Amino acid sequence: MFDRFTERARKVMGFARREAQRFHHEYIGTEHILLGLIQEGQGVAANVLKSMNIDLDKIRREIEKIVKAGPAHEPSVQIPFTPRAKKVVELALEEASNLGHNYIGTEHLLLALLREQEGIAAHVLLALGVKLDEVREEVIE
């Protein structure tokens, strides 16, 4: 599934899994992927957000206001993606293809999170003024 992901994008997905575990969630949602992007902090996505004067810590705080921890349980070996998170991976592949890239990077994940529109990640990003077209322009530059 992650064959074409860059090393940083793979790290993001690993961080997303850890974030899901930290919240005692038995799923990986768009919010966990966004938290993974922030935690990675050095990829194109994080740099694009920073260049747009978006405070990464504020994104984390906004997500933590919305997302509540579940009951403590033994962490699962396999944590499934929600349908929205699966859609984000599909959209990231599409974004990479549209940009003529043969890899999936953090920038493609960020674009996909915004394109998905319904998940917690999209709501938080949009509320903070992050717009898909502006992110796409920054990525192209």
Q: In order of start, what are the domains of the chain with their CATH numbers? A: 7-140 (1.10.1780.10)
pLDDT of residue 133: 81
In tens, the pLDDT along 55-94 reads 888 988 889 888 877 777 666 668 899 999 999 999 999 9
Return the structure tokens found at 68: 């509540």
Question: 117 near 87, Cβ under 8 Å?
Answer: no
- Residue 19: name the closest of 42, 2, 39 by CA: 39
Identify each DSSP E strand in 14-94 by its residue range: none
In angstroms, the CA 130 to CA 99 distance is 20
pLDDT of residue 47: 86
Q: pTM for the full model?
A: 0.89
